[in-house]
Amino acid sequence: MHRLIAITLSSLLLLGACDKEQPDTAGESPVIYSIIPLAGTEGETVTVNGSNFSSTPASNLIMLGGKTATVTSATSVQLLFRVPAGLTPGKFKTSVTVNGLTVESTQLFEVKEKEAPITDPAVLNFNYAIGTQTIGPSYGFSSDDRLVETAKAIMAMGSNILKISLSAGSYNISGRTYPNITALVRDDPSFSAVLDMPFTYYFFWARSHSNWADGYSAAERTEDSVQIADLTTYLLTKFNNSGKQFFLGHWEGDWYLLPNYDVNYIPSDARIEGMIQWYRARQNAVDEATRVTSHTNVNVFSYCEVNRVVDAINGLRRVTNYVLPYTNVDYVSYSAYDSQGLNQTEFSNVLNYIEGNLPPRPHITGKRVFVGEMGRCAQDFGFSKTQHEAVNRENIRKSVAWGTPFVLYWEMYNNEIKDGTQRGFWLIDNTNTKWPLYDTYAGFYSKAKQWVLDQKKSLNRLPTREEYMSWAYSTLANP
């Protein structure tokens, strides 16, 4: 599913230089050079830079204010730990013990009191743009099924964005079948529970099953239209005045156009026309259901997803250039594995190309291309946590710099296993360990909500998209 291109060599050298592993030095006392940051609250991640640490996290004992901290990542020159619970606010030295040898920091770390939870609905429902998804998770740790468990994990991280597949099989939920996708989200206890969670932005893989590839019959058009119209009506009615925004789309559309992942296949005119009409039927169903359904402060949009955009730029028959311009879709999702490793200018040009092929929808303001999938797996970096965080964070920043309304990392729990090995498209791994990229997400959400609240208080309004994205780009410069 994920055909990735390598990030440029220069970027790898830049982002990976600080992560070069040094051999453990047995018998030498650990040394602390710096602690970053020098203040934080319970659960936040802190970096200790130094030497003579153990690359095995459990072999490093970190104490802060008399409490043992959890070490989440370790190399011989860098440790990451979480501020332990139960500390009284104040300033404390940090100690590191390795092989029975202990060093104390000269710098003091300030434990701050946690701020009161934010309850302002305008702040909680603000579009923070950066999110993740859960589709086909390959493991779980609780009595909840994998849909509910992973949705809870995304919510606990601080996100108000959720992307899921409207398929019970994607979450190993067996024994429950429904006649259509509306019945699934309405009647299934797991799906209805997730829709009732306090997420604001929902992205659904909601693919109907008609076969348009050999021509699009009236019966197939009716089947698709009814499914999408019924789902739209249900969502607008059930979540009326909730502030929720729903986006109905599908998985990578170019693979629908190119059967069996065959990049040498040349789609026929009939196949292309069938796909165009399929998109039009879905969008028209959303539009008509929205028009006739009484609703306030809730929206449903339709999107298509493209994934072979570099091919399209090179003139091959793909969704972006041969299908998208002749549709009437609200949004385009870009599964960005074919370009995420490009530099900022080149990546922005790819997004500009997609945007330039979008049909007009005058009632929607702002950019309408979002990054529905992106991400480099841990296996790409030899399971280096710091490289995994740095490269993915920088790729997210490129989408933010362009101004995409959403950029969604693939994903919370890994879904891909190759030759018996978890590939590591994750924020929480198969041992229930939160990776540094998870901490980046959680820390970002906390800072972003506080910043939006502060801006609202000082400006007497919410920040504009441009103001927010500029702040987010700057903030994401560091983990």
Segment 168-184, tens digit of pLDDT: 999 999 888 899 999 99
User: Residue 337 carries which DSSP code?
Assistant: G
Structure tokens, 91: 């300033």
Per-residue pLDDT tens for 251-307?
999 999 999 999 999 999 999 999 999 999 999 999 999 999 999 999 999 999 999
Q: Which residues contact 191 (CB under 8 A, 6 or more apart)?
A: 147, 166, 168, 184, 185
Q: Domain 24-111: which CATH class?
A: mainly beta
Per-residue pLDDT band for 195 (boundaries 50, 70, 90) equals very high
Per-residue pLDDT tens for 312-361?
999 999 999 999 999 999 999 999 999 999 999 999 999 999 999 999 99
d(Cα 198, Cα 183) in Å, to the nearest integer? Answer: 21
Any idea which fold 121-475 has? TIM Barrel (3.20.20)
Q: Which residues contact 103 (CB under 8 A, 6 or more apart)?
A: 29, 30, 31, 32, 50, 95, 96
d(Cα 199, Cα 181) in Å, to the nearest integer? Answer: 20
User: Residue 304 carries which DSSP code?
Assistant: E
Q: Is the predicted pLDDT of residue 25 greater than 70, yes or no?
A: no
Q: Which residues contact 167 (CB under 8 A, 6 or more apart)?
A: 205
Q: What is the DSSP string of 209-236?
A: ----BTB--HHHHHHHHHHHHHHHHHHH
- Residue 426 confidence (pLDDT): 98
Say which amino acid occupies 293.
T
Whether residue 118 contacts residue 447, with contact meaning beta carbons closer than 8 Å, is answered with no
d(Cα 240, Cα 232) in Å, to the nearest integer? Answer: 12
Whether residue 334 contacts residue 305, with contact meaning beta carbons closer than 8 Å, is answered with yes
Q: Which residues contact 230 (CB under 8 A, 6 or more apart)?
A: 180, 182, 289
Report domain extents, the chain: 24-111, 121-475
- Residue 15 confidence (pLDDT): 39
Per-residue pLDDT tens for 128-177?
999 999 999 999 999 999 999 999 999 999 999 999 999 999 999 988 88
Domain 24-111 shares a fold with domain 121-475: no
Q: What is the DSSP string of 360-420?
A: P-TTS-S--EEEEEE---GGGGTT-HHHHHHHHHHHHHHHHHHT-S-EEES-SS---EETT
